[in-house]
């Protein structure tokens, strides 16, 4: 690798990259390679509001650089890209990112309460969901007066859409004899964004829960500490005890959302990886951890003790790689 660093010296033998041009060199150096790409990325359509998700007030929202997960134009351009990536020689498979709806940390507050555009309304009808009820569910949460039944309908709809998309993705990748994988929200928070491990496992060869327990950057979409802190803040009408029961993570040890942001325990990280594996009986669980986590070595060793054979790291950086030593 560049900078005189050889990843194999750190026990790393597989590389996940979005850059197809580096594949030949990685193969020459003996690495296994997976390609990664985004699901609903807006790309050059970012300025065109017709691609954006719509919140409960009908306003356009961009989340994680992405648009409406039911926009047929975004879906087909994404699947065409996947199809093209599959033609890259010598790769093991494709791992998709962002196959979900917005989370609390993926954009402005209102971006979580999406998508209620015409595409989503038509998809709800096609899948026999009650769109008005779905909207009512999101609005009730937004207004901090939760209608539990309607919220569940909303989250089930999110999940049905994501599962439908990943089914298409998987069909394309597997038809080329490659492995289909996905970076998923950690199990405690996955239901919020429409990722249902049990439904997705039969579609995926590799399930990769993103278990970033103490992500230090200011923005942390998908990171456990950021998303759970945001949930404690946004859903402040329920107690931390109730939120702990909802997410299956003990938040009562924290005093405030800011306290949660400082990081979850290493035990919580390991338990999230085990939950992901338990829920994904048809797939290999390959947790992805934060390379810049000061406890990365101890988490890896706890996972190895629990027989996790594949562990992925986000993100290669010459300053962080020494955390593995």
Cα distance between residue 300 and residue 289, in whole Å: 9
- Judged by CB under 5 A, the residue of 66, 111, 119, 292 near Zn ion is 119
Cα distance between residue 205 and residue 192, in whole Å: 23
Give me the least distance between CB of 85 and Zn ion, in Å please.
25
Q: At what angle do helices 118-126 and 131-142 cross, to 10 degrees?
A: 130
Residue 303 burial (C-beta neighbours within 10 Å; 0-12, 13-18, 19+): buried
Cα distance between residue 77 and residue 79, in whole Å: 6
Tokens of 88: 């890259």
Q: Which of the ranges 115-123, 150-158, 172-180, 306-314 carries the binding residues for Zn ion, by CB under 5 A? A: 115-123
Q: Which of the ranges 59-67, 109-117, 194-202, 305-313 carries the binding residues for Zn ion, by CB under 5 A? A: 109-117
Contacts to Zn ion from residues 21-40, by CB under 5 A: none
Query: How many binding residues for Zn ion (CB under 5 A)?
Result: 6
Give me the least distance between CB of 41 and Zn ion, in Å please.
15
263 with 213: CB under 8 angstroms?
yes
Q: Mask 70-89, x = binds Zn ion (CB under 5 A)?
A: x-------------------
> Count of CB atoms within 10 A of residue 323's CB?
18
Give me the least distance between CB of 154 and Zn ion, in Å please.
13
- Cis check for the bond before 136: say yes or no (omega within 30 of 0): no
Instruction: Give 56 or 105: the residue with its C-beta nearer to Zn ion.
Output: 56
215 with 226: CB under 8 angstroms?
yes
Give me the least distance between CB of 91 and Zn ion, in Å please.
32
Closest CA to 284 of 190, 207, 180: 207
- Judged by CB under 5 A, the residue of 117, 193, 231, 251 near Zn ion is 117
Q: Which of the ranges 73-81, 108-116, 181-189, 273-281 carries the binding residues for Zn ion, by CB under 5 A? A: 108-116
- Judged by CB under 5 A, the residue of 23, 94, 105, 120 near Zn ion is 120
Cα distance between residue 283 and residue 290, in whole Å: 22
Instruction: Give 115 or 243: the residue with its C-beta nearer to Zn ion.
Output: 115
DSSP 127: T
Q: Which of the ranges 86-94, 118-126, 131-139, 172-180 carries the binding residues for Zn ion, by CB under 5 A? A: 118-126
Instruction: Give 50 or 217: the residue with its C-beta nearer to Zn ion.
Output: 50
User: What residues make contact with Zn ion under the rule CB under 5 A?
Assistant: 68, 70, 115, 117, 119-120
């Amino acid at each position: 690798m560049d900078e005189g660093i050889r990843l194999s010296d750190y026990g790393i033998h597989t590389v996940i990259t979005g850059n197809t041009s580096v594949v030949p060199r990685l193969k020459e150096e003996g690495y296994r390679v997976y390609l990664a790409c985004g699901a609903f990325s807006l790309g050059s359509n970012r300025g065109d509001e017709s691609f954006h998700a719509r919140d409960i007030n009908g306003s356009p929202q961009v989340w994680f650089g992405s648009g409406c997960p039911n926009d047929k134009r975004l879906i087909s351009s994404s699947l065409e890209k996947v199809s093209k990536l599959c033609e890259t020689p010598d790769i093991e498979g494709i791992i998709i990112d962002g196959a979900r709806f917005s989370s609390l940390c993926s954009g402005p507050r209102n971006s979580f309460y999406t998508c209620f555009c015409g595409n989503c309304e038509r998809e709800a009808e096609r899948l026999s969901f009650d769109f008005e009820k779905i909207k009512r569910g999101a609005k009730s949460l937004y207004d901090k007066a939760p209608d539990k039944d309607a919220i569940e309908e909303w989250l089930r709809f999110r999940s049905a859409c994501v599962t439908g998309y990943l089914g298409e993705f998987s069909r394309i990748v597997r038809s080329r004899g490659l492995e289909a994988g996905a970076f998923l929200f950690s199990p405690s928070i996955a239901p919020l964004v429409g990722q249902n491990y049990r439904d997705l496992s039969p579609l995926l060869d590799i399930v990769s829960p993103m278990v970033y327990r103490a992500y230090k950057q200011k923005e942390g979409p998908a990171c456990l500490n950021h998303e759970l802190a945001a949930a404690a803040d946004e859903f402040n009408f329920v107690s931390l005890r109730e939120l702990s029961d909802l997410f299956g993570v003990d938040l009562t040890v924290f005093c405030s959302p800011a306290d949660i942001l400082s990081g979850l325990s290493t035990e919580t990280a390991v338990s999230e990886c085990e939950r992901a594996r338990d829920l994904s009986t048809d797939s290999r669980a390959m947790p992805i951890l934060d390379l810049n986590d000061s406890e990365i070595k101890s988490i890896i060793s706890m996972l190895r003790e629990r027989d996790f054979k594949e562990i992925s790291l986000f993100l290669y950086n010459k300053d962080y790689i020494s955390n593995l030593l």
